[in-house]
Amino acid sequence: MDEYFLQFLWKFQKFESKELILSNGSSLTVFQTGHQNHHSGPDFLEAKIKIDDLTWSGSVEIHYKSSDWNRHKHQTDRAYENVILHVVWINDGDILVNEEPLPTLEMSQYVATNLEQEYRRYINQPEVIRCGPKLGDIPQIQISAMIDRAVASRLQEKSVRVLDTLEQLGGDWEETVYQTLARNFGFKTNAEAFLKLASSLPYHVIRKHAGKEQQIYALIFGMAGFLEDPVDEYQASLSAEFSYLAKKFQLHRMLDRHHWKHAKMRPANFPSVRLSQFAAFLTQENQLLANLLNISGRKEAVGFLQKSLPDYWNSHFDFGKPTTKSPRIGTKSIENIIINSLAPVLGAYSKYLDEVIYLERAQHILEQLPPESNHVIQKWIDRGVTPGNGAETQGLIYQYQSFCTPKKCLRCNIGMFILNPPK
């Protein structure tokens, strides 16, 4: 029996119509169940009940067994001092608060068996998107509301990661933007290697060489471990430049070439190509935060990220390995960086300043992107939910990962609509 179901029973008072009696024999009348708390602390806040002839206002805590109170260490948490009622499925012993028994309702005595069975059948379906077969019967306004909330939550989730990085870097926004972008330039395969590169090569060193292509490429490829044993004149010139700069700035390389993953990659995704694209970006952008904050639409975001490559990297996918196709960063890659770096930074900055304008701008940019295509989105499409833009695909990914997969149907308005249909 999961606590989501128990909270659902309490919230909507899914009890048989008979008098509620507490474990100590007192009668219970519920005036207000309280508003559900999705953060730390009691499950419902500001409830109002009457026990016998005395009216109480305070918090309600829900558990499967009453002994879970002590198992969760609520007895030592002051956040639970205002609990006026303990609602459990099984009462396996009194809980003492300030040496007095905590009023306890054993709800299993008041819930119809078929209600529990119906919930179990629904939640234990093999289908991950459990509402899938019924989505065609759900009003569009409910589906739109689900997506809108999920879009906001997805952006907030990614923004929190940016703020965590900001805190770790002592409030340095330029370094935070630099490291956030670096990680994303590595995409999934080489994200950690790119982050290690950025962590070992501070952005203030890069900024000292703003606009100086040779120096920035030498720093990026040198710190990435790509300048050992040069195979051509260009690589040798970068290697010599890096030797000088590494000594000047006392840089300590943390990466070697073997740390970068190449397996099963097309040349366009090779780490050498991504490093050249990142170096081109850093050569031509020297005020990351200010320029990012001025982005208000997709076109500006693409212009911010898509930089021209030097002649060598227009004709090579690695040192000494020529190509006839320029490895310029592609549209899909840019959209990925917008989704995973630019929009989250705007969202984080909005939260940092408590200014909604940057959050609105982030969402507007996402809405201008085409919908993403992946196996999660295809599952939604197969069930009749077709996203219209990048913001909506981000929302559907969040919904799938945060609600569908962990079976949190009773935290989702669609699941609630199905399991607690309007009368």
Per-residue pLDDT tens for 1-54?
Answer: 788 899 999 999 999 878 999 999 999 999 999 999 988 999 999 999 999 999
**163 in any annotated domain:** no
Please tell me the distance from the alpha carbon of residue 345 to that of residue 20, in angstroms, as a whole number.
Answer: 51
* Domain shared by 189 and 329, yes or no: yes
On the question of pLDDT at 325 being above 90, the answer is: no
Residues 179-198 pLDDT 10s = 999 999 999 899 999 999 99
Write out the residue range of the structural domain in which residue 384 sits: 132-152+370-419
pLDDT at 293: 95
Cα–Cα distance list, 287 to 59, 182, 211, 391 (Å): 50, 15, 12, 27
**84 in any annotated domain:** yes
The chain-wide mean pLDDT, for the chain, equals 94
pTM of the model: 0.85
Cα–Cα distance list, 277 to 73, 164, 273, 310, 372 (Å): 52, 26, 6, 10, 22
**Cβ 391 vs Cβ 369: under 8 Å:** yes
- Residues found in the chain: 423
Total domains present in the chain: 3
Around Cβ 120, how many Cβ atoms within 10 Å? Answer: 12
* Domain shared by 256 and 355, yes or no: yes
Give the up-direction half-sphere exposure of residue 393: CA atoms within 13 A in the CB hemisphere. Answer: 22
In the block, residue with structure tokens 């100086």 = 212
* Domain shared by 377 and 354, yes or no: no
* Domain shared by 200 and 234, yes or no: yes
On the question of pLDDT at 232 being above 80, the answer is: yes
* Domain shared by 326 and 384, yes or no: no
* Domain shared by 330 and 390, yes or no: no
Strand partners, 369: none
pLDDT at 266: 83
pLDDT at 238: 97
* Domain shared by 217 and 230, yes or no: yes
**Rounded average pLDDT over 214-235:** 96
**159 in any annotated domain:** no
pLDDT at 115: 86
* Domain shared by 110 and 64, yes or no: yes
